[in-house]
Amino acid sequence: MGQILDNSLGSSGKRIFALVLRHSFLLPRNFTRWMDMFYWPLLDLLVWGYTTVYLNAAASGRINFVLLFIGALISWDILFRAQQSITVTFLEDVWSRNILNLFVSPLSPAEFLIGAIIYGMLKHLITISFMSLMAFWLYNYNYFSLGWYLVPTILNLLLFGWSLGIITTALILRFGQSAEVLAWGLAFLVQPFVGVFYPVETLPPLFVTISRVLPPTYAFRQLRLLVLQKRFDWTILLVGFGLNCLYLLGAILFFIGMWRIVKCRGSLARLGNE
């Protein structure tokens, strides 16, 4: 097995694979991560799902809130888990006081981020499959009924989630464990502005202006177009994708800047011992 890996992966690829494998080995024995993958998504699905069932009945079928809200809920969870997949992967090494060992190895910051994204994608596949199955069983809702048009929408949500995760990780790296709260709170700071459950046009003018520079706004707008009008608008998704590229590039540069500051100050050794 080791010989196969040596032949098929370069040095960088093997380090990324080792990082993914390490966290995969930890997952079966980590009850908190299982809750993160199944319990919290299921709780969201139950609370908001039955709320939409009630609204759907109250509206007498004029608008299918089940299609609209549950699809938005699953899509929001994709963004949120994408952010957490990077940040929590980093925090697990902080909590276990392994972060210094990790970064005195040949592992580079770029390899760490790629490994965290790949590991997060594997968890994503499990969580999205679980939520979709539960939505179908509880509400007879098929998230994938919108077809291949969901792919670019989901990609835009993932890209923004990764950007938030990289920024959050950089802030924790720079300011220590006092910034841990951002791992769970940063995504919810943008939620009111991106129109997860409502069109952004219902917001005050200042909030509408803010929403226009946030990529998820365009993903959720496209999702509503698919549900309500069965229409796909490439312009909307391309604007969101362009903004996502800028955010992701800025997040990576920000992470590199914070990494250099921490390295110069020698404060990495204190992380996890605060």
pLDDT in tens, 136-174: 888 787 888 777 888 888 899 999 999 999 999 888 888
Tell me the mean pLDDT per 10 residues along the chain, length 274. 52 73 65 60 61 56 67 85 83 76 74 82 82 83 80 90 91 79 79 82 84 92 83 87 94 89 72 58
Predicted pLDDT of residue 38: 65
pLDDT at 167: 92
Q: Which backbone phi and psi does 220 adopt, to 5 degrees?
A: -70, -30
Give the Cα separation of 156 and 184 in Å (integer).
20
Give the other-Cβ count within 10 Å of 22's Cβ.
Answer: 17
Q: Is-contact 203 211, C-beta < 8 A?
A: yes
CA distances from 26 to 30, 69, 110, 122, 162 (A): 6, 34, 22, 14, 22
168, 4, 6: which is closest to 85 by C-alpha? 168
pLDDT for position 240 = 92
Of 87, 208, 78, 213, the residue nearest 152 (C-alpha): 78
Boundaries of every domain in the chain: 13-23+30-270
**How high is the pLDDT of residue 5?**
46
Burial class of residue 127, CB neighbours in 10 A (0-12, 13-18, 19+): buried
pTM reported for the whole predicted model: 0.76
- Beta-carbon neighbour count of residue 193 at 10 Å? 20
Q: Is the distance from CB of 171 to CB of 86 less than 8 angstroms?
A: no
pLDDT tens by residue, 60-80: 555 666 667 788 888 888 888
